[in-house]
Structure formats: C-alpha cells, structure tokens
Amino acid sequence: MSNVVEINALHKCYGARKVLENVSLSLESGTIVGLLGPNGCGKTSMIKIIAGIIQDYEGQVLIDGRVPDEYTKSIVSYLPEKTYLGDNLRAKDALNFFEDFYSDFDKEKAKSMLSQFKLDPNQKIKSMSKGMQEKVQLILVMSRKAKVYLLDEPLGGLDPASRKAMLDIILNNYSEDAVVLLSTHLINDVERIFDRVIMVGEKRILVDDTVDNIREKNGKSVQELFEEVFKC
Amino acid sequence: MANDFSSNVPIYIQIMNEVKLKIVSGVWEAGQRLQSVRELAVEFSVNPNTMQKALSELEREGLLYTERTSGRYVSQDEEKIKKARDEMAEEYTGNYYNLMKKLGYKKEEIIYVVSNRLADIEKGGLKNE
Amino acid sequence: MLGKLFKYEVKDTSRIIPFFYAITAILAGLSLLAGKLELGWFKVTSSALLLLVGIAVFIVTLVVICMRFYKNLYSNEGYLSFSLPLKPHLHLVSKAIVSFIWMILSVLICLGAFFVALYGLGVDGKVWSSVMDEIERYGMGNYLYAIIPMVCLSILYLMSQIYFSITLANRPRFHNIGAAGASILLFLATNVALKIVETILTIIIPFSLSVSLTGGFDISLTAQNMVGYLMNNINNQNPSNMVIGLGGYTFDIIMVCVLFYTTGRMMNKKVSLR
C-alpha cells in the first residue's frame, strides 16, 4: 500500500482567479477515495492536473514518483465528465483505439462488459443515450489496468439502476495496486464504496479522513458532514 | 441500499449487521463457504476494505471462520448462531420499545398491541411483510 | 505512437476530402467526354463547373483541416487526445504532415481541374507549348521550378498561422470570446501583423533579386534593398533594374518554424480545455 499519488503545496490559478491554494494530499493504492466539493472550486482542476491535462500549476505533483508526463498518462486512466469520444466512432472503434494507444487495455474484458450491459459494439456513439455513452466510457476507462483511476462525476444524469451498474463496475475492478479517485455530488448513494473522502472548498482541503472516522468522530454521515461544511 | 437511519454508525458495523442477518436467518447456511471479499463487496455495494473489516470482526465474534487454504466459512456452531439471532431480536425489540414509548404507550399496552397485530397478520395473510 | 496518430489522422480526414476529389474526377471525365462529343453548351457548362469544383476542393480541404484541428484537440475530444500517453506536440506533428499532404494533393487536383476545364474551352497542348516558348525566350524557364517551393512555403505558412491561432485561442484568457471568434480574430491579427513585418523587411533588408529591364531578363542576387528602386518609381524615373526584396521570404521561412515551435510548446505546457 504505497502512496501512488503525492501532492504538495499545489497552487492553481486561472488568470487572477485562484482555485487551489497550498493543497497537499496523498493517495494510497488499494483504496477508493471520494473527492467532494462544490463545482468550480478546484476539484476538477485537481483531477485534470493529476491526469496530466493541465500542465500549468505550481507545486509538486507526483504520480508513482514521476511528474505528470506521457509516462504517467500511461498509468492513469481518466474519465472526464464529458463525452470525449468522436462522433462518428462506433463502440468497437473506441475499443480498437484504446487498444492501439494503451498497452494496459484489456479488450476482451471491455467486450464482455459491453455485452453484459447489452451495449451493441456496432452502434455509433452519437446515437446512444447519454446513459449508454457514459457506460461505454466507464467501461473503456476501467478496462485498463492502470494505477490511478480518475472518475469525474461518473454517475451524473443516470437513473438509479444505471448508477448501481456503474458502481458494480468500479467495485469489480478494484485492485490493491490501484487507487480510484471518484468525484461526485451523489454522496448518499456512494458513501459506502469509499475508504476515504476528501472535501475541497474555499481553495483548500477542508476534510480528509476515512468514512468510518467521520461517522465515529462527528456522529454524522458523510452527506451530513458535507452539508454542514458547505452550508450556504 | 444506502438508507441508514444511523448516520453516526460506521459503515463496517452496518455491513456486519447485514451479514449477520443473512447468517442468523439461514440465507447463508451454517458451514457454507463464502464468496471472495471482492465478490461480496460488489454484492453489498461496499468498499472491499470495509467488507474485509466487517468479515474480520465477525470472525472475531465467532460467526465466521477462515480455513487458510480454502477460504472463509459460516460458523458450524449452531449455538453461536442462535445466540446471535437472539441478540438481534433483543435489539430489534429494544428499538421497537423505544419507538412505542415515544408514542406514549406503556408496557402493558405495548404487549396488547403486539398480540393483536400478530393475530391480524396471521389471519389476513402477510399484509405487513 | 506517431505512426498511430498518422493512421487515425488519415482515417478521420478521409471522409470528406476524397469525396470531393471523386466529384472533381467525375466532372473532369464529363468535361473530356463533352469535348469528344462536341456538345458546345455542355463543354462550357462542365468546364465552368469543373473550375468551381476545383476551387471548392481547395476550400473544403482548408476547412476540413481547420475543423479537424480544433475538434480533435480543443473540443470535448481534446480530453481524449491529451490523455493519450504521448507528448502533446506529436499531435501537431501528425496533423501538420497529414494536412500538408492533403493540401498539396488538393492543389494538384485543383490545377488538374483547371487544365481540363481550359482544355474543354479549347486551350489545348499547342497553347501551352507556345506559352512555354515565350517563357523560355525570356530566360525564365528555370525559375518556374521556383514556384514549387514557393507554393509549399505558402501552404506551410498558412497552416502554421492557422494552428497557432487556434491553439492560442484556447488559452484561458480567451475563453470568454468563444472558440470560433477568438480563433478567427487571432488569425487575422497574426496574419496582418506578420504581413506588415514581412513587407517592411522585404523593403529594407539589403538582400534582393535584381532584374534587368533592358535587353534580356538578367536576374542576379544583390545586396541592395528595395528603397532605392521604390524611390525611383515614386519620382517617376524609370529605373533600369527591378529590385525584388527577398528579406520577406526569409522572414516567412523563419516564422513558419517559429510558429510551429511556439504552437508545440503551447500544446505541451499551456493547454486548458473547457
């Protein structure tokens, strides 16, 4: 159980607007960590920095001991909030694309997950419902044997049954060699799958603790603590 | 799935209760071999580390045991299981009593209410299941 | 990795552009057929259409290149592109090379359409050989070959400005203006600014072609700048030599490299996806 992600004194500004100030945290492999906080507060920026998509920041970010670069991108599997697959792709084209660029991609696993969720590999992405698109993207991301999984709001806009299906995929792919960082608003549904939660607000980390500690120390569920921490 | 009334109770304890329920009610039979921690984690929709912690605690309480080479099993000790069942029943009763007390019922009235209700349930089929 | 990028770049741009090549080829065929069948009205119509389609091919190729660059890198697809385990500037390399090839092909197809269209209007081989003879007479025959690198340079210059503008438009400070607007504004600004600098350098840098206007067309390199020549023209004195500054071209070549390099660096370090 080593620290596969280390962040030290991270600062991030967008022009004059600072979204993260002196943020430090570390993520251990073999855990599922929840990243909670209001939108536009640096939560997504942090994820993008770990993913290597934002290179413009101050401070130290290490993934498996390396600064974010093309190597870390090969061990980080990132699922953004948006649909990032090309319009004209069919699901099977997306699988081939991932197999082409990622050596840790397990195409058979992805195929079996597609059929498990009754998704047609020949169907074009753009003709799928939003829920189906999100499932396809999650399947692609979780079929990689990565060390860091970054899931940015993977459950938004899904019906409860699909949400359960997504959580099952995430739990099924749990590995002791990997850490899953999951950012979400739907805390109640998801609290049970977290080892730890990190609450980010006001440019810094407000809470960083295990779920059980939070319950025992505060006598509150994570949802309730969240509401208290971020009360308007 | 996630409807806990007890927000201050750690999740692993809630999982322990969910597993205990399966054991004492016989859904998991005595001596039955358990699935892997990962499979159980998916079944209960909970973090695998939390599942592991819950199972370890239940082992400590003697409701589960581990055979080093072949895995985890439900205890074969029928006495222990019955005792656990009784403990759970006592807890449920205690909770029920507290609720009824809030409504202002006294002990004798509570017994009366329970008998009546049970009679109704048996007569009219499983209306309250 | 670069090879894989090439593969997908070619795949994704092969939807529209070859389609237009095919249309051009069909029209060219029809135009030649019209010539054989001596159908007057058909000859003229098909030639006109062919000219238009030739131009359309060029425009469509340019549009596809711009759209593809933007869409694949700075729209939602960018999240995938920049997550790939490779240095981001490789995207620039693969797109630049593939797009350059498409542009060259389109220019050739456009020229081909042009020639076939003119052929349909009666401009045949005899006309072209007499044109060539005239050119040879002035001693300019070899200099025709200079057109090829000039065209390549123009294409690369245009592409570098487009890629630079689109990438710059994606910086956070421009997010308010909107991608299309910012890209176009920046492109115009860059283009105009570069043109101004280029023109100034063409005039003042003492490195030019001197073309003698008397007798035969002697061309030589000279260390004069254009100022003298222009002043003569303004004062209505007829100069005996035309001086064409080359400083501008040199600047262009340097700027192509600078623009591509800067764009690559921005991609590596400064990308900010919406």
DSSP-assigned letters across all residues of A68-95: SSHHHHHHEEEE-SS--S-TT-BHHHHH
Chains with ≥3 Cβ pairs under 8 A against C? A
- The whole-model pTM stands at 0.87
pLDDT for C134 equals 78
- How confident is the model over A189-218, as pLDDT tens digits? 888 899 999 999 888 898 999 998 888 888
Is residue C129 domain-resident?
no
pLDDT of C244 > 90? The answer is no
Judgement on whether residues C39 and C82 belong to the same structural domain of the protein: yes
> Which residues neighbour A53 within 8 Å (Cβ) at sequence distance 6 or greater?
A78, C79, C82, C83, C271, C273
- Nearest chain A Cα distance for residue C29, angstroms: 32
Radius of gyration, alpha carbons of chain B: 18
Among B2, B8, B47, select the one facing A195 at the smallest CB separation: B47
Token pair listed for B105: 């019922």
Radius of gyration, alpha carbons of chain C: 23
pLDDT for B2 equals 41
Which parts of A114-195 are beta strand (E)? 148-152, 179-183
- How confident is the model over B71-115, as pLDDT tens digits? 899 988 888 899 999 999 999 999 999 999 999 998 889 999 999
Judgement on whether residues C146 and C269 belong to the same structural domain of the protein: yes
Task: For chains C and B, tell me whether 3 or more CB atom pairs sit within 8 A of each other.
Answer: no
Check CB contact under 8 Å for C85 and A55: no
Number of domains making up chain C: 3
Judgement on whether residues C228 and C266 belong to the same structural domain of the protein: no
Average pLDDT across chain C, whole number: 85
pLDDT for C239 equals 66
Judgement on whether residues C2 and C63 belong to the same structural domain of the protein: yes
Report the DSSP beta bridge partners of residue A207. A199
How many beta carbons lie within 10 A of that of residue A47, not counting itself?
Answer: 23
Token pair listed for C78: 């960018």
pLDDT of A25 > 50? The answer is yes
Long-range (24+ apart) CB contacts under 8 A made by C191-196 are: C191/C161, C194/C161, C194/C255
pLDDT for C233 equals 76
Contact C196, C133 (CB under 8 A): no
Of residues A150 and C125, more confidence is placed in: A150
Contact B80, B63 (CB under 8 A): yes
Between CA A171 and CA C59 the distance in angstroms is: 51
pLDDT for B129 equals 52
B3, with CB counted inside 10 A (0-12, 13-18, 19+), is exposed
DSSP chain C: -HHHHHHHHHHHHTTTHHHHHHHHHHHHHHHHHHHHHT-HHHHHHHHHHHHHHHHHHHHHHHHHHHHHHHHHHHSTHHHHHTTSSS-THHHHHHHHHHHHHHHHHHHHHHHHHHHHHHHHTT--HHHHHHHHHHHHHTT-GGGGGGHHHHHHHHHHHHHHHHHHHHHHTTSGGGTTT-HHHHHHHHHHHHHHHHHHHHHHHHHHSS-EEEEE-SSS--EEEES--HHHHHHHHHTT---SEEEEE-HHHHHHHHHHHHHHHHHHHHHHH-----
Judgement on whether residues C7 and C118 belong to the same structural domain of the protein: yes
Between CA B112 and CA B121 the distance in angstroms is: 14
- How confident is the model over B41-53, as pLDDT tens digits? 999 999 999 999 9
Judgement on whether residues C235 and C256 belong to the same structural domain of the protein: no
Between CA B84 and CA B108 the distance in angstroms is: 27
The Cα angle at residue A205 between residues A201 and A211, in degrees rounded to 5: 105
Place of tokens 């002990």: B107
Check CB contact under 8 Å for A85 and C1: no
- How confident is the model over A106-161, as pLDDT tens digits? 999 999 999 988 899 999 998 998 888 888 999 999 999 999 999 999 987 778 88
Judgement on whether residues C149 and C233 belong to the same structural domain of the protein: no
- How confident is the model over C175-187, as pLDDT tens digits? 777 778 888 889 9
Q: Mutate one of A116, A168, A180, A215 to test the B interface: name it (highest B CB count within 10 A).
A: A215
Q: Rounded to an integer, what is the distance from CA A158 to the centroid of its chain?
A: 16
Is residue C132 domain-resident?
no
Is residue C264 domain-resident?
yes
Token pair listed for C177: 């203006």
Judgement on whether residues C39 and C148 belong to the same structural domain of the protein: no
Of residues A2 and A112, more confidence is placed in: A112
pLDDT band (50, 70, 90) for residue C152: very high
pLDDT for B128 equals 57
Check CB contact under 8 Å for B45 and A224: no
Check CB contact under 8 Å for C84 and A71: no
Report the DSSP beta bridge partners of residue A199. A36, A207
pLDDT for C141 equals 66
The Cα angle at residue A112 between residues A111 and A114, in degrees rounded to 5: 65
H or E element in which residue B110 lies: helix B107-123
Judgement on whether residues C267 and C146 belong to the same structural domain of the protein: yes
Token pair listed for A98: 């991932």
Domains in chain A, please, with CATH? 3-229 (3.40.50.300)
pLDDT band (50, 70, 90) for residue B5: low
- Residue A221: closest CA among chain B residues belongs to which residue? B7
Judgement on whether residues C99 and C62 belong to the same structural domain of the protein: yes
Residues of C at the A interface (Cβ-Cβ below 8 Å)?
1, 4, 7-8, 12, 15, 72, 76-80, 82-87, 172-173, 268-273
pLDDT for B3 equals 45
- Nearest chain B Cα distance for residue A27, angstroms: 15
Among A192, A195, A224, select the one facing B45 at the smallest CB separation: A192
Give the structural domain span for C16.
1-123
- Nearest chain B Cα distance for residue A185, angstroms: 15
Average pLDDT across chain A, whole number: 90
pLDDT for A117 equals 87
Is residue C11 domain-resident?
yes
- Nearest chain C Cα distance for residue A124, angstroms: 15
pLDDT band (50, 70, 90) for residue C234: confident
- Nearest chain C Cα distance for residue A80, angstroms: 7
Flag whether residue A39 sits within 8 Å of chain C, measured between CB atoms.
no
Among C84, C173, C269, select the one facing A56 at the smallest CB separation: C269
pLDDT for B1 equals 38
Check CB contact under 8 Å for A74 and C85: yes
